[in-house]
Copies of this chain bind each other. A is one copy, B any other.
Amino acid sequence: MASRDDIVFGAWDVYPQNAYQAAMYAQVLDEKDIAPVRQELEQIVPMTAAFDRNYVKRIDGSNVKAPLSSTNTIPTRWQMVEMLRDDIRRFRREHGCSRIVVLWAASTEIYVPVDEQVHYRLEDLEAAMQADDRRRVAPSMCYAYAALREGCPFIMGAPNTTVDIPAMWQLAAACGVPISGKDFKTGQTLVKSGFAPIISTRCLALDGWFSTNILGNRDGLVLDEPENFHTKEVSKLSTLETILDGSRQPELYGDYYHKVRINYYPPRNDNKESWDNIDLRGWLDYPMQVKINFLCRDSILAAPVALDLCLLSDLAARAGCSGTQCWLSFFLKSPMHDYTRGEQPVNHLYQQYTMLKNKLRELGGYAADEAMD
């Protein structure tokens, strides 16, 4: 695995502030934890972002790529791709990088439903980019496309569909690079994917699961917009489906009500908090309830996930893996899977953990000594 000392960090951002300024603004870390690395952070100055404000209405930033012609307010999708590829090449050259991993951890875009006309075949996707089809090609797809074409593993940390479409799977295979996504599994969903198995192993029935969140950072601001929240909602709701499976145990899980809410609540800033109410039924259908209140920290939980995904994606690339890396599901809220073939994602936290360990053993040349159920 790459040594952490060998990593150089770069970033695109719609805001021009360097990493030190951004860290101070975010108030995630105390100043005393930032000050010692101030110099290193100040040197990380973001490149201009490929940004289309229709995708994130609550956010506006000046550090964005300018259109190439005056007829457009923003570059076309294809121009975005080319500019981003230039960025990657320049960064590689300037920093003498032997390998690059691209991780997307920006705001959730509005929901882009998978459209067979555009998202199923690589040539259709490329045509749509060239035709500047802004409705069906999200800016994040331009990042992913650019990364893959430049031979860089790509990780989708937000719930955007970006690489969760057959056209991107084809591109990843063609370029021989790993992809993974989507949506970092950090707070409430981490707990959910670890708690739901308690219910299923004991064959307790589920009547309903209500999940609400309060958070006040920029992520919360963006998700306050219904169109952006919908993307998140789809991701968060999917977690229970394969753990508490109504098709296999209809009398236990055939009819539960699962609801997820996110509320923008500025007093909390990045210290998001979740509250879950779970309605269970035990022997003879007697009702019971569980409440889980998680006072967590969004970025504190996400940072190690982001780092691990980069290191492991790089490792996978070096080991010759390409396409969707299911064994990284452990880190993800809505793991990618080939839905065109009816494949089911693995959401069960401990099954994900077993997959992760087995793959690492395999990559390390050891026999996998754990099997999935």
Contacts and interface: CB of A to CB of B under 8 A. Distances in A.
Interface residues of A, number: 58
Nearest to A273: B277
A86 B207 CA distance: 46
Nearest to A278: B294
A350 interface: yes
Contact of A303 (B283, B291, B300, B370): B283
A371 B371 contact: yes
Given A259-B263, A263-B259, A284 B33 contact: yes
Interface of A is mostly: mixed
Interface string A254-293: 0011010101011110000101010100111010111111
Interface string A205-221: 00110101010000000
A373 to B, nearest CB: 6
Contacts of A363: none
Contacts of A191: 195, 198, 290
Given A202-B190, A286-B297, A300-B283, A210 B263 contact: yes
Interface of A: 29, 33, 190-191, 194-195, 197-198, 201-203, 207-208, 210, 212, 214, 256-257, 259, 261, 263, 265-268, 273, 275, 277, 279, 282-284, 286, 288-297, 300-301, 303-304, 330, 349-350, 353-354, 357, 369-373
